[in-house]
Amino acid sequence: MAEQRALRIAIVGAGMSGICMGVKLQDAGLDDFLIYEAADEVGGTWRDNTYPGLTCDVPSRFYSYSFRPNPEWSHVYSPGSEIQSYFRQVATERGILSRIRFGTPVESARYEQGRWMVTTADGDERFDVLITATGVLRVPRYPAIPGLQTFAGPCFHSARWDHSVSLAGKRIGLIGTGSTGVQIAAELGGKVRGLTVFQRTPQWVFPTPNPRYSRLTTVLLRRWPALCRIGYRFWQNVFEGIPARAVVEPGWQRRIMVTLCRVNLRLSVRDLELRRKLTPGYHPMCKRQVFAGHYYRALQKPGVQVVTEAIDNVDATGVVTADGVHHELDVLVLATGFDAHAYVHPMTVVGERGLTLEEAWAEGPHAYRSVAVPGFPNMFMLIGPHSPIGNQSLVIIAETQAEYVLRWLDHLRSGQVVAVEPTDSATKEYNEDIKAALPQTVWVTGCNSWYLGKDGLPELFPWRPGRHRELLSGPELAHFEVHTAER
């Protein structure tokens, strides 16, 4: 057998996808890799988000690595802290922790003389392959509200929750009613002295009860792990068969989702004035669909009010709305979302001939099948542009992408191939196919959301999740420039 080329691989990010890639590399016998992590802990979004009420609105049995079922999930939709512990546990038991360089943000990655030079505060290191695993919703977006800095009480973003602040007996102001704001309101409503929810745009809410798993279930799953796999497949079929289909094509799935959202609002909110406030003027699922069990109930608890007047400014003691009303508050929470287009930001990535990723993406982030970008040889992205991320398990997506990367690494380590990058034409054609499919999706039915890019089009995968797996089932050599040793 011909001698294999030794590959040195850098992964940026030790969240769900970075850990996944590390495990897959290790299993494939590619042991020479290093994971750079800016923080001092693994987990990415599950490390950063610790707000009250945090769960994952994708069922935990499915929001798990397929290679590491977890009988211990406490709920159908388990709390964020459990999910964080799960990823940490996988990283620990698979020996990934020792491969991570914590507290080391990557400043830049440059492709020079056939290798990637990764620069951190500690200096430069060279790698054959660069894999970005930097997540999607990582950079908090702070609202530009006049006077926000003058608020005298604690004020923090939902992804930077300040647990030193006691909420007992406090009047809380909550700005934002996306998936995060809804979970916080559902948890705090009725439990604090006052909760004022500042809603700019109402959300459709899909009714989502969250039962606990019984002790017996856990015991059975521990005894017969195959049952976990059945649970995984069950929830995969439900999620991929209904919500994931509903968003990308008209049909009974879309009608069911729409009906259940409307019925949920009607049955849960009897007060007509409140129902009017909570009724969106756009199609369900156009914005990222909110799944929640107790939201409407929480909004009707004593001490909770929903304010729909626009926010005019913030002063030392509260929020002033456009109707001149001053809402007195002790704590202000900003559930105002993330910069969804930040990708590798603030890391600078420089490919061939000095081309930066920023330049390549001047018209908006785009990639070949969500994983690679022309002009950036031997660079792969996990959860890159147009990944199927709306109401889906990102875990299976990262696994699919990591498997695909492995197939290319097999070529690279064979020694005959030095570098690979997608061609401009294949990438262009793929992105044109995406554009052509977008009109079928629910995301273009007339709403504003973090899904939309600079050109006003959703930066999402407009087909069923199964198509993503098909597209990434193996390298299509004709779509790549393959640089061989002789070149």
Q: Which residues bind ligand NAP (CB under 6 A)?
A: 55-58, 137, 143, 145, 158, 175-181, 183, 198, 200-201, 288, 311, 335-338, 448, 450
Query: Measured from the CB of residue 219, what is the shortest distance to ligand NAP in angstroms?
Result: 27
Q: What is the number of the residue whose Cβ is closest to ligand NAP?
A: 178
What is the rounded CA–CA span in Å between residue 232 and residue 409? 28
Query: Measured from the CB of residue 5, what is the shortest distance to ligand NAP in angstroms?
Result: 39
Kind and range of the H or E element at 426? helix 424-437
Q: Which is nearer to ligand NAP, 291 or 480 (CB)?
A: 291
Q: Which is nearer to ligand NAP, 30 or 278 (CB)?
A: 278
Q: Which is nearer to ligand NAP, 14 or 16 (CB)?
A: 16
Q: Which is nearer to ligand NAP, 180 or 427 (CB)?
A: 180
Query: Measured from the CB of residue 250, what is the shortest distance to ligand NAP in angstroms?
Result: 22
Query: Measured from the CB of residue 200, what is the shortest distance to ligand NAP in angstroms?
Result: 4
Closest CA to 316 of 143, 154, 165: 154
Residue 258: both structure tokens together: 């729409």
Q: Which is nearer to ligand NAP, 106 or 395 (CB)?
A: 395
Query: Measured from the CB of residue 313, what is the shortest distance to ligand NAP in angstroms?
Result: 11
Q: Which is nearer to ligand NAP, 132 or 387 (CB)?
A: 387
Beta-bridge partner residues of 108: 119, 348
- Residue pair 19/91 in contact (Cβ under 8 Å)? The answer is yes
Query: Measured from the CB of residue 405, what is the shortest distance to ligand NAP in angstroms?
Result: 24
